[in-house]
Amino acid sequence: MSPIVITPRRLGDERGWFSETYNARRLAEHGIANVFCQDNQSLTRTPGTLRGLHFQRPPHAQAKLVRCIAGRIFDVAVDIRRGSPTFSRWVGIELSADNGHQLFVPVGYAHGFLTLEPNAIRESSGATATSRSIGRTTVRRSSRPRTPLCPRSRRSMPCSTMTANP
């Protein structure tokens, strides 16, 4: 399975909007049958901060559903499954509070993000509970501004998309 961009529908009126951000049945209709059991949030104060690339090793490998609930981030998933036809290829997308996009990151992908605005809040749901002792990080975070996390290259891959509430 490859990463999938999910865009939940927002129902709006003069008060604001409402969005269903998770529905197991609708996600299963698109091949996402993971049971999410852990939610995490991170606040990153400084734009240009890189967090990642993180992954968990089997038997604790973890699929994730990621979104940004304040500010903007550039979110990336990299295929780290040796032998996969897309090994080392990546998918990147801007997630923001305004666009409401989410990224489903399947098992076998490393995940990271670069903050694009101050005080960005990223939220993720994990399909298995994790422990610091089993997680791995391939790139250390830094608060120094950097060049874009993944410049356009031939190593990127297409990403499936779905509208969660048609």
* Interval 50-70: pLDDT, tens: 998 999 888 888 999 999 999
The Cα–Cα gap between 95 and 103 comes to 8
The Cα–Cα gap between 49 and 62 comes to 23
* Interval 87-139: pLDDT, tens: 999 999 999 999 999 999 999 999 999 999 999 999 999 987 554 444 544 44
Chain centroid to Cα 76, Å, comes to 7
Contacts of 42 (CB under 8 A, 6+ apart): 51, 121, 122
* Interval 142-151: pLDDT, tens: 344 433 333 3
Q: Are strands 38-44 and 72-79 parallel, antiparallel or unpaired?
A: unpaired
pTM, rounded to two decimals: 0.79
Q: What domains lie within the chain, and their CATH numbers?
A: 34-159 (2.60.120.10)
Half-sphere exposure of residue 99, counting CA atoms within 13 Å on the CB side? 16
